[in-house]
Amino acid sequence: MKARAHSRPGERREARLRRVRSAPWAPVVGLVFTVAGLLHFVRPDTYEAIMPDELPAQRELVYASGVAEMVGGLGLLHPRTRRWAGWWLIATLVAVFPANVHMAVRAERYPQFPPAALWARLPLQLVFIAAVWRAMGD
């Protein structure tokens, strides 16, 4: 008996979702975080400029967050370290969230960014966390 093609829109949508769910997320998310972490060393002034003034040792914190992202990103690439790396990246995203709030609340300090983009960035952190969570399951 021949298998029936997906004829209803709901079946086609479900088939697409299954393909997305089965895609290899860990290599992509790992690479994104590794490159993002590296950028903290290539352009530290950019990251230092968005840090709250109240934080001490800003350059060192920029480098530390870059290392955290690179370690987590590289950790996602290997199955044995993937779960630990995922939790590490989620903790890192939570730790840098106050800097994102700072930018949104003090948008006048960052005229290069539209205020709406700074506010939109806040829920985007949840998308990053969801991507890391999904990568942990690969």
Per-residue model confidence (pLDDT) at position 2: 52
CA–CA distance, 84 with 88 (Å, rounded to integer): 6
CA–CA distance, 34 with 40 (Å, rounded to integer): 10
- Sequence-distant (6+) residues with CB within 8 A of 48 are 58, 59, 62
The model's pLDDT over 70-113, given as tens digits with 9 standing for 90+, comes to 999 999 999 999 999 999 999 999 999 988 999 999 999 989 89
Per-residue model confidence (pLDDT) at position 83: 95
Nearest to 102 by CA among 82, 123, 88, 122: 122
Lowest mean pLDDT among 37-41, 47-51, 101-105: 47-51
Q: CA angle, corner 29, sides to 27 and 33, nearest 5? A: 115
Nearest to 102 by CA among 64, 67, 51, 138: 51
Q: For residue 4, which amino acid is it? A: R
Domain boundaries, the chain: 25-136
